[in-house]
Amino acid sequence: MADVQIMTGNSAAAIAVKLSHVQVVAAYPITPSTSIPETLSQYIESGELKAEFIRVESEHSALTVCISASTVGARVFTATSSHGLLYMHEQLHWAAGSRLPIVLCCANRGVGAPWSIFNDQQDSIAQRDTGWIQIYCRNNQEIIDTVIQAYRIAEEVYIPVMVCYDGFVLSHTMMPVEIPDADMVSDFLPPYKPHTIVSPENPKNINPVIFPWRRLNAEGVLCDGYMEMRYKLQKALDDARDVIISTSRTYADVFGRDHGGMLWTYKTEDAEIILAGIGSVASEATVAADTLRDEGIRAGVVGIRVFRPFPKEEVKEVFKQANAILVFEKDISYGYEGALCADIKAAFYGTGIKAPVHNYIAGLGGRDVKAREIAEATRASLDEIASGHTEPKTIWLNCHTG
């Protein structure tokens, strides 16, 4: 009998952490992620989860605790949002550089100044180049399933994983969620084996200063320089693609739910126009696509599930047939365009994909993005393209730009 309960995205994340037998949790409160550590405190203090909870004095320290605890061999977790994630920025690099399988939940929230507690994805998109895997969820079921998958992926490729989902839209919205069976999760997720054992019996100096060039060790073996280590991280990110896809498939075999590997599609097989997005905005676009189809416009949706490593091969495939592409995203790379749109277009370079691409910057700082508005925007873009204006364009949706 499936255990289905109505819960928020943050509850789903906390339950997944418990099911994953995390051993060390460190967190600092920040809206809208706060109820994750609150729930985990409850589990740990009541003895439901056997773990150390370190109530740190900052997000910088939260991720530091995770880094050092993971280094000595514990499975770790932290959660944050917005400025908390930005305050972790230095440690995000350090965690990936240390090749530690840390899992972090980011309940996405806009970034100040001025202050906003509401949702957009500027916080995590701005951490794109820190060397973390980024997986985005579109509903609460995906959150619980993705956190469990994240540990298996991270511990296989030794890269930290950020599981991102929209603040309030998912973090505080109740939805039915099927809770995976605890024993089945334990079987799916073998115990964490650190890549380096830190122990007085075998002393090592971990992450010391390193020269640009390769250098001999005391035994005369030529060891990596800084660049070789960076290359290995990049290659591991590239290779993680196969692990992410296979983990998603294995999870589907065991638990019966497949949320897509690198991306998911909705009615793209015969679509002339494809709407693309990350997270809940892409879910919203599926409703818009149905409306458009009722009007005779063959619309489909591509949801980018994994933003890093970027699904470059999948993107080339799924957009192949499109006559027009509209990218809706809750972030902006200032001075250029939406980060997702730029990446999608870059993946097309050298392929036969010549469809016009419109980029919609939407929902910043929690401004509502309705399916109706996505449908309207699509009609407007199609009209413009039909009238011969096919050049790339960035449009701020539902924003007074006059």
Partner 1 sequence: MPENLYKVNINEYMLPGNRACQGCGLSLAYRYVLKALRENTILTIPASCLTVLHGLYPITSVTIPCINCTFASTAASASGIVAGLNALNRSDITVVAVAGDGGTYDIGIQALSGAAERGTDFIFVCYDNEGYMNTGTQRSSATPLGALTTTTPVLTKQQHKKDMMKIMEAHDLPYLATTSPSYPVDLYDKFVRAKRIKGTRYLQIAAPCPPGWVYPPKDTVKIGRLAVETGIVVLFEIENGKFRFTGRSKTMAEKGSKLPVINYMERQGRFRKMSIEQLRQVQRWVDVRWNEYLRRAEN
Q: Point out which residues bind partner 1 (CB under 8 A).
A: 23-24, 26, 51-52, 54-58, 60-61, 64-74, 76, 90-91, 94, 198-200, 202-211, 215-218, 221, 223
CB atoms within 10 A of CB 174: 12
Q: CA-CA distance, 347 to 48, in Å (whole number)? A: 46
Q: Phi first, then psi: what are they for 215, rounded to 5°?
A: -145, 145
Nearer Cβ to partner 1 (1/206): 206
Q: Which is nearer to partner 1, 92 or 361 (CB)?
A: 92
For the range 292-299, what are the long-range contacts, defined as Cβ-Cβ under 8 Å and sequence gap of 24 or more?
292/375, 292/378, 292/379, 293/267, 297/272, 297/273, 297/378, 297/379, 297/382, 298/270, 298/271, 298/272, 298/273, 299/267, 299/271, 299/272, 299/273, 299/274, 299/275, 299/378
Tell me whether residue 5 or residue 207 sits nearer to partner 1 (CB atom).
207
Least Å from the CB of residue 225 to partner 1: 9
Least distance between partner 1 and beta carbon 393 (Å): 42
Q: How far is the CB of 43 from partner 1 (least distance, A)?
A: 15
The residues that bridge with 301 in the sheet, in sequence order, are 266, 275
CA angle 12, 16, 17 (to 5 degrees): 120
The CA distance from 75 to 69, in Å, is 8
Least Cβ distance, residue 338 to partner 1 (angstroms): 31
Rounded to the nearest whole angstrom, what is the least distance from the CB of residue 96 to partner 1 in the complex? 13
| Residue placing its CB nearer to partner 1 in the complex, 203 or 335 | 203
In this complex, which beta carbon is closest to partner 1, that of residue 26 or of residue 324? 26
- Comparison of 230 and 389: residue with beta carbon closer to partner 1: 230
Q: Smallest distance from the beta carbon of 151 to partner 1, in angstroms?
A: 15
Tokens of 49: 């989860």
